[in-house]
Structure 1
Amino acid sequence: MKLAGVGRRYGLRKHWVLRGVDLSLPERSLVRVQGVNGSGKSTLLRLIAGIDAPSAGRISGRPPSAYVPERFPAAMPLTALGYLTHMGRVHGLRRDAAAGEAREWLERFGADAYARTPLAELSKGSSQKVVVAQALLARPRLLVLDEAWTGLDQNARTVLDRSVAERVAEGGTVVFVDHDPARLAGSPDVTYRVEGAAVREVAEHVPPGHGGVPATGPRVRIEAEGPPGVALPPELPGSPRTEQTSDGATVLTAPAPYSDALLRGLLAGHWHIRSVAVEEIPR
């Protein structure tokens, strides 16, 4: 997906929120967007997701996408299950498949008890689980998240972290904004900053010796052994750092959200998993 000379303003006499934006968003990538409040981050995400049209420039190559807005309009005459089933249909799923996915995601987020509850009666946290679930249930190739973690409990945040890793591991593109600088730290393939109506790439700081492992937050440490003469599968999720043990095993270290996807990649390559541990990186 590409943005070429893209600009956005809300009215011919209004100032440009964004102008001259050139971006390339490749498949299998995690993209973080930073910027101060009011800088245009949400406008950029809405353009990427196709919610808004550019006032100038061109956007091409947008794959099937899903979007989690900063604010969810929950005052709709639908239950949580009804809304998710409807959104599944919008995303192209058949009704029975949409209903099945809706129930599965409500359960994963710990919100299955509210399946029959009208959206207007849900708490902010439960509403956020529903809006995140609607974006994930169709497994979109482009996932756009605007402060999607806000209001979620710790279990739901972990589910979302892992779901983001799964989307990237399966070849998708995920673009996100979050106020917490430690969110998925060390995982993004590229970070952009929105400032002065422009978008520029910035380097994410990773201390020497950590490789692709985040500077803070949990990481997974997997000890595995491959078949004789078989190399590690290419392009493993999470870009793990690797090292060899004295007895010939391989230790892989990656951001914890990638644990499930990384294990699947190793098992698909017929590697034997000796041990799995999640640890916090010392500060």
Structure 2
Amino acid sequence: MFLQSTDRIHMPEDADAPPLITLTRGAKRYRGRPVLHDISMIVRPGTATALIGRNGSGKSTLLSILAGLLRLSSGELTYGRQGLTTGYAPEAFPGLKLTAEDYLHDMGRIAGLSRAAAVSRVSELLAIFKLGASRSHPLAGFSKGMLQKVNLIQSLLIRPQLLLLDEPMSGLDLPAQHMLTELLQELKSEGTALVFSVHEPQTVEALADAVYVLQEGRIIRTIHGAENLRTVPSVHIVYTDLPPVEQQAVMALPGVLHMLPVPDSAGAACTGLTVEQKMSDTCLQQILAAGGSIISVERLGGLSGITEWMDPKEENGSGRG
């Protein structure tokens, strides 16, 4: 368990509890250029909402609006509670000269924690994210994955009623991804509302109650209810990268749903492949025959045709959603 019982947020018994956020026909323009068009959505306590879309579809802009960092050009955004506690982890997080603990202590104080509470909460989260040994090191020397962990920690310093995450799995190795998924599942069960952009089908599978698919700033598809997300059972295979020709041959196999680059725990280049369950043995045999090593195999329930909208992030992380 990650949360202490004294700090739990209780999920309302009424499934139709008033929403935390209601966005009605929201639109955003930058210098006259439309970025979001006619976006409407409702976010309720204890639910997880996934924002899916190719780079540039408007996901990051929408999250910034929900976080209160950007104003709508038109439309209406209303909050269901006064003093709503919100955590927000943006996509980009810079390497600063401050140490990890100094930065997080400062963020805790800005969020309203007392010095003692900030020190206690930072220590707790650094241990959960396995950064305790690096707490006194400057952020400027951190890897992308370590910076992402600090980014996530700052969003959790106050236990949020609403948690907004922009590509939370970016840069994390597989053990850290699994740990974060478990933590988010627990927060959700305690009543925190999650809204996140994501490119990993397995994250949607594990967390989402609703999915909004964005294209060029418009919602083109919505899926409500976890049971409606699942279709054909599938398998997620992580393996060491193959030469380009062999990699293309695997991608061309029937039943392959999605392929993404993922680092393993040692930072080596690996591939995450989602394939229909009935074709998983064929894929495994071809990967092994081509000289690849299998890192992990995970059975999934299958996703309702949305993996085509989860394109990989750019190598340098500069692509905006």
Tell me, yes or no, whether TM beats 0.5.
yes
CA shift, 1:176, in A, is 0.9
Of 58, 67, 70, the match for 2:88: 67
C-alpha offsets along residues 36-66 of structure 1, whole Å, 9 cap, x if unaligned? 1111111111111112111112211162111
Counterpart of 1:206 in structure 2 is: 230
Counterpart of 2:73 in structure 1 is: 55
Counterpart of 1:253 in structure 2 is: none
Counterpart of 2:107 in structure 1 is: 87
Q: Does 1:194 align with 2:218?
A: no
Q: Is the 8 A contact 1:161 1:184 kept in 2?
A: no
Matches within 5 A, 1:157-168: 157-168=177-188
Within 1, Cα distance between the matches of 2:147 and 2:38?
Answer: 36
User: What is the identity, as a one-letter code, of the residue corresponding to 1:124?
Assistant: K
User: What is the identity, as a one-letter code, of the residue corresponding to 1:163?
Assistant: L
Within 1, Cα distance between the matches of 2:43 and 2:153?
Answer: 23
Counterpart of 1:38 in structure 2 is: 56
Q: Is the 8 A contact 1:141 1:167 kept in 2?
A: no
Percent of residue pairs bearing the same amino acid type: 35
Q: Is the 8 A contact 2:214 2:221 kept in 1?
A: no
Q: Is the 8 A contact 1:33 1:193 kept in 2?
A: yes
Q: Provide the aligned length of Structure 1 versus Structure 2.
A: 215
User: What is the identity, as a one-letter code, of the residue corresponding to 1:207?
Assistant: T
Q: Secondary structure of the equivalent of 1:183?
A: helix
Q: Is the 8 A contact 2:27 2:73 kept in 1?
A: yes
CA shift, 1:143, in A, is 0.6
Q: Secondary structure of the equivalent of 1:140?
A: coil
Gaps in structure 2 of 5+ consecutive residues? 1-20, 238-296, 302-321
Task: Give the TM-score normalised by the residue count of structure 2.
Answer: 0.62
Go from structure 1 to structure 2 and tell me whether the alpha carbon gap of 1:205 and 1:4 turns closer, same or farther (over 3 Å shift).
Answer: closer
Within 1, Cα distance between the matches of 2:300 and 2:69?
Answer: 41
User: What is the identity, as a one-letter code, of the residue corresponding to 2:66?
Assistant: I
C-alpha offsets along residues 103-148 of structure 1, whole Å, 9 cap, x if unaligned? 1111111111111111112121111111111112211111111111
Q: Is the 8 A contact 2:202 2:300 kept in 1?
A: no
Q: Does 1:4 align with 2:27?
A: no
Q: Secondary structure of the equivalent of 1:36?
A: coil
Counterpart of 1:227 in structure 2 is: none
Q: Is the 8 A contact 2:59 2:197 kept in 1?
A: yes
User: What is the identity, as a one-letter code, of the residue corresponding to 1:156?
Assistant: A
Q: Secondary structure of the equivalent of 1:27?
A: coil
C-alpha offsets along residues 222-248 of structure 1, whole Å, 9 cap, x if unaligned? xxxxxxxxxxxxxxxxxxxxxxxxxxx
Task: Give the TM-score normalised by the residue count of structure 1.
Answer: 0.70
Of 139, 164, 168, the match for 1:144: 164
User: What is the identity, as a one-letter code, of the residue corresponding to 1:206?
Assistant: R
CA shift, 1:216, in A, is 4.9
Q: Secondary structure of the equivalent of 1:193?
A: strand
Counterpart of 2:316 in structure 1 is: none
C-alpha offsets along residues 71-113 of structure 1, whole Å, 9 cap, x if unaligned? 10223x4210011111112222111111111111111111111
CA shift, 1:161, in A, is 0.7
User: What is the identity, as a one-letter code, of the residue corresponding to 2:39?
Assistant: V
What RMSD in Å do the two structures reach over aligned CA positions?
2.2
Q: Is the 8 A contact 1:186 1:206 kept in 2?
A: no
Gaps in structure 1 of 5+ consecutive residues? 219-278
Runs of 4+ aligned structure 1 residues displaced above 4 Å come to: 215-218
Q: Is the 8 A contact 1:185 1:216 kept in 2?
A: no
Q: Is the 8 A contact 1:32 1:192 kept in 2?
A: yes
Q: Secondary structure of the equivalent of 2:39?
A: strand
Counterpart of 1:222 in structure 2 is: none
Within 1, Cα distance between the matches of 2:198 and 2:216?
Answer: 19
User: What is the identity, as a one-letter code, of the residue corresponding to 1:35?
Assistant: G
Within 1, Cα distance between the matches of 2:127 and 2:112?
Answer: 22
Q: Does 1:96 align with 2:116?
A: yes
Q: Is the 8 A contact 2:51 2:196 kept in 1?
A: yes
